[in-house]
Structure 1
């Protein structure tokens, strides 16, 4: 915070709600991402940011300036997340619960399992602190990829907080210990245990998560071809874009498919107008989620007047092939991506 910010903090402490709003809005984006990493839920991250600001306003007189205002907000947000996580089961994706599904079987019912949720890239704001901030040297290591989020769910809440603060945000052990009201030794011990667990659950090729990057032109080309093939219901063209060991999931449905043959068998049934499992015709809109290429899918059945919001699909693309696709079948996510809930049937 600059020297002028001291005046704003003083005004906020004196009861100026406008000054307080100015302070918290500066940090809303990064705190939303922090809560999302802790919880694995976009919806809950929104709620926890609001809870953070409410707690901060109520306790503003307790801010004595011994840390930056930003660090103080991180302390409140982290503790709010820890309160929510106490005794709660981890969030998962279908592949974490059972073996691959048989595409010849009927679609299983939706479940009330706590699923991971995607995060819209438009709301992702990498931290850009001053040199005095504890994570100034670690901005390039920001990540909210699904592989990381799924792995971190295996950590107890406190270890989760330590790993995020130390390895993702780059906070020093001393400041992390102060935030968590523990010792440096306990923080270092928790970090070592967390790193071991993460290596057990991250994919082999992702033991060390790299800085996220924009999709390459090759990846964008693959996505364009995929969208066109799906809209034309061209199974052969889709198959040509899938890796042999591709994995597809569609939470909240618990089934998932492993391998090109299984995926194509499932698609063949759901794309056949004569099949009882026929889904309808699709329209695809490109978007971004979790720093990965993504598509918003709309579907229209023969008796419906418009395409309706269906799923947000997040892709992993390697060597010109789709190696994984996670389609979050939750139309309630579309507003967060600034996408309409329906498109006219003439939309192409």
Structure 2
């Protein structure tokens, strides 16, 4: 059915027509909200609020833009309103993410925000494989990586929105100005400042910009080696997979361990303890290798969910390891427990 017919039917109160009109865009809108908000939970809420607002205001849509652009305008402003409210964000903390473990002194306070959540690749669908438009500055694989999402969270909300709309989605400055009710000059100024911050962070983070054509074979080898090292509790083997200036972080705690020796001390204290046995289940998050980590329960023999580990890699080495609490694992289809191995 033609878009104009769907709009007419939806404007007359046909919920099925409205659903058909917007569902083709809902997936990419959720990813858009995630980029701006850094939290999958917040992105899901923002998407629902966007669709409710679109339904209520469909009568004001006079097709001066495409439906997609109109929805992006609503979603962007919904995200900005949520950021202005600010009451959804967990407070910054340096509390240990592992209260039962005596952790070594961190090398510093990390810049990974406490609200950051990983995004399951299974929800990305074909987005990761899409070719960028002519106006974009970042490929889709770059613009969903944890390093990029983290860098975005360092920006003021409006700069964040401008950079995503211009450099990720490829909207022209005049279109972004209209979407944000701003002038083209203010959009260009915000974009210039945002680019400087993003580029500086990616250069300093140790993660850099993801390769445009990642070496899939090398990644598979590295995933197999990392899985083996974790399950054999082989600290030396794991450390051998890290670059010298590797970074470890564990949101929501604002703690960072930088450098291979700091990483060794942390892993020895937090993971490779004599009485612990792990299983690692490979998955993917933010276009990167990830692992659902399970620890053996000596009383039941089951392996219980422990956390999600996301690895940023360059070539055949790991540049960043980011650990998330077990609460994110169900979003990756990972169970709470695994049976004991034979």
TM-score of the two chains, using structure 2 as the length reference = 0.84
Render the CA deviation track for 1:209-232: whole Å, top value 9, x for unaligned: 467555521122011111111111
TM-score by length of 1: 0.83
Q: Structure 1 residues 335-344 or 25-34, which shifts more?
A: 335-344
Distance 2:93 2:281 in 1: 24
User: Whole-Å Cα distance in 2 between the matches of residues 271 and 162 of structure 1?
Assistant: 41
- Which residue of 2 is the match for residue 28 of structure 1? 26
Residues 187, 31 of structure 1: alpha-carbon distance in 2 compared, 3 angstrom cutoff: same
In 2, the alpha carbon distance for the partners of 1:273 and 1:211 equals 35
**Alpha-carbon separation, structure 2, partners of 1:80 and 1:310:** 34
Report SS of the residue matched to 1:114.
Answer: coil
Instruction: Say whether the 8 Å CA contact 2:121–2:284 is kept in structure 1.
Output: yes
**Residue 334 of structure 1: aligned partner:** 329
Deviation readout 1:38-75 (Å, 9 max, x if unpaired): 11111100111111111111111111111111111101
* Cα 1:272–1:193 shift into 2, 3 Å: closer
Q: 2:36 maps to which residue?
A: 38
Count of aligned pairs between the two proteins: 324
Distance 1:306 1:114, change over 3 A: same
Runs of at least 4 residues of structure 1 off by over 6 A?
89-95, 205-208
Match of 2:297 in 1: 301
Any conservation in 1 of the 2:103–2:270 contact (CA below 8 Å)? Answer: no
Please give the secondary structure, in 1, of the residue aligned with 2:13.
coil
Deviation at 1:255, TM superposition (A): 3.3
Provide the residue aligned with 1:292 in structure 2. 288
Cα displacement (A) at 1:124: 1.5
Relative distance call for 1:114 and 1:282 in structure 2 (3 A) is same
1:294-342 CA deviation, whole Å, 9 max, x = no partner? Answer: 111112232244212221211122242212100112x222222122222
What is the alpha-carbon root mean square deviation over aligned residues? 3.1
Moved more, 134-143 or 54-63: 134-143
Residues of 2 paired with 1:115 and 1:312: CA distance?
15
1:27 and 1:70 in contact (8 A); partners too? yes
* Structure 1 unaligned spans of 5+: 96-101, 107-112, 129-133
- Given that 2:147 and 2:207 are in contact with CA atoms closer than 8 Å, whether structure 1 keeps it comes out as no
The residue aligned with 2:55 is: 57
Kept after mapping to 2: 8 A contact 1:294/1:313: yes
